[in-house]
């Protein structure tokens, strides 16, 4: 086995396009520098991006695809096969992230080139053997063909166990965070960031991070925030993430409805929308509270990032996901899913008690440093590569 294995990461997006899996691949690639030779193969929704590029010393190969077109997706699968044929002779391990249409050509080429595959499951409801099986026999085979499966949350591990995957071939492997980049701000840093962002020092800021899908419930957070505003509470609500996209999960009506309701209240200037950004840490470090209002998650990176920055966090209670990260009242707060009144009440409590918010933030930071540091994730990925190469 090579001392520094050559690993091909296959994902749905990579810098400058943004996805949770892509961000994780980029962070681990940096952490593994000098210990593994990492390259990346991705599909790209932006046709203007170069087909081959080096980013931070990592060779990135892209296959353009229009996700709204079935013909484009079929063509992308064929072109992906060609790219794999050129890349695999120099690769020891294939590490594919998530389950989608690309898993079938990757599994086929891995068999032809006798390359072991590691599969990471990132998304609850989508990256599951039951969902793969529902797509047909070929899809089911592709899901089960990797030599090792890494699941970012206990609920995904459980779904694999329920489907009969070999227990010794499935590992729990949560996402990791660069705790040097995502860290609490000093008072001076926070004030400077707020000035740059145009946020007043005396108005608390509540942050939501994620694309605008019904499952992520940005509208639920708005309604909870509106309850506080109607009671005289003063705060700014900052949404950071894609409000419009060709990807099917994003519903453009959500942001439009929120904007209209905020305007009806006469508080349009208190609800702001920020496009997806590669400088997320600036917003966490300048904010006062982070809220994850989702009803479906696995191991949400945004929650981990916010906690790493020392923010008090409020999250929907999702079994095997958020309740594994947050111990209610210790390092954050949990509320029941879709509980608008409960979320409003908890948000009001955290905003009104600076001392309690600070304590929750300190404990949140300690949780991430201890359990979710990116260096730990990198070590676990490297161990998985070594194991499948034995």
**6-176+373-389 and 187-371: identical CATH topology:** yes
Domain 6-176+373-389, CATH class in plain words: alpha beta
Has residue 270 got a pLDDT over 70?
yes
Has residue 2 got a pLDDT over 70?
no
pLDDT band at 74 (very low <50, low <70, confident <90, very high): confident
- The domain segmentation of the chain, as residue ranges, is 6-176+373-389, 187-371
pLDDT band at 134 (very low <50, low <70, confident <90, very high): very high
Q: What is the mean pLDDT of residues 155-159?
A: 96
pLDDT band at 73 (very low <50, low <70, confident <90, very high): confident
In this structure, are strands 6-11 and 148-151 parallel, antiparallel, or unpaired? unpaired
Segment among 72-81, 85-94, 221-230, 321-330 with least mean pLDDT: 72-81
pTM of the model: 0.95
- State residue 67's pLDDT score: 79
Domain 187-371 fold: Rossmann fold (3.40.50)
Query: Distance between CA 6 and CA 101 in Å, rounded?
Result: 24
Has residue 243 got a pLDDT over 90?
no
pLDDT band at 101 (very low <50, low <70, confident <90, very high): confident
Has residue 17 got a pLDDT over 80?
yes
Has residue 248 got a pLDDT over 70?
no
């Amino acid at each position: 086995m090579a001392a520094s294995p050559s690993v091909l990461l296959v994902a749905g997006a990579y810098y400058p396009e943004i996805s949770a899996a892509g961000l994780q691949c980029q962070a681990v690639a940096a952490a593994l520098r000098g210990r593994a030779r990492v390259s990346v193969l991705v599909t790209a929704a932006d046709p203007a991006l170069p087909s081959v590029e080096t980013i931070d010393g990592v060779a990135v190969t892209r296959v353009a695809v229009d996700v709204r077109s079935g013909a484009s997706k079929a063509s992308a699968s064929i072109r992906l096969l060609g790219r794999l044929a050129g890349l695999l002779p120099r690769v020891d391990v294939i590490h594919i992230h998530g389950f989608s249409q690309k898993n079938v050509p990757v599994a086929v080429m891995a068999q032809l080139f006798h390359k072991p595959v590691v599969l990471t499951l990132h998304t609850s409801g989508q990256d599951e053997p039951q969902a793969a099986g529902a797509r047909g026999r070929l899809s089911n085979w592709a899901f089960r063909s990797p030599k090792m499966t890494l699941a970012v949350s206990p609920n995904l591990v459980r779904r694999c166990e329920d489907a009969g995957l070999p227990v010794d071939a499935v590992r729990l492997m949560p996402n990791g965070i660069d705790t040097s980049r995502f860290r609490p701000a000093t008072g001076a840093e926070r004030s400077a960031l707020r000035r740059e962002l145009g946020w007043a020092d005396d108005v608390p800021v509540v942050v939501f991070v994620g694309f605008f899908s019904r499952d992520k419930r940005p509208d639920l957070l708005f309604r909870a925030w509106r309850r506080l505003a109607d009671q005289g509470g003063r705060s700014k609500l900052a949404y950071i993430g894609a409000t419009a996209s060709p990807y099917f999960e994003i519903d453009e009506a959500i942001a439009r409805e929120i904007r209209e309701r905020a305007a009806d209240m006469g508080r349009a200037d208190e609800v702001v929308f920020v496009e997806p950004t590669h400088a997320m840490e600036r917003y966490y470090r300048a904010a006062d509270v982070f809220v994850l209002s989702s009803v479906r998650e696995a191991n949400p990176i945004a929650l981990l990032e916010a906690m790493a920055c020392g923010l008090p966090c409020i999250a929907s209670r999702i079994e095997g996901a958020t309740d594994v990260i947050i111990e209610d009242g210790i390092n954050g707060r949990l509320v029941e899913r879709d509980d608008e009144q409960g979320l409003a009440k908890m948000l009001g409590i955290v905003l009104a008690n600076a001392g309690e918010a600070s304590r929750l933030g300190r404990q949140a930071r300690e949780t991430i440093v201890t359990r979710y540091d990116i260096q730990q994730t990198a070590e676990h990925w490297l161990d998985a590569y070594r194991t499948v190469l034995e």
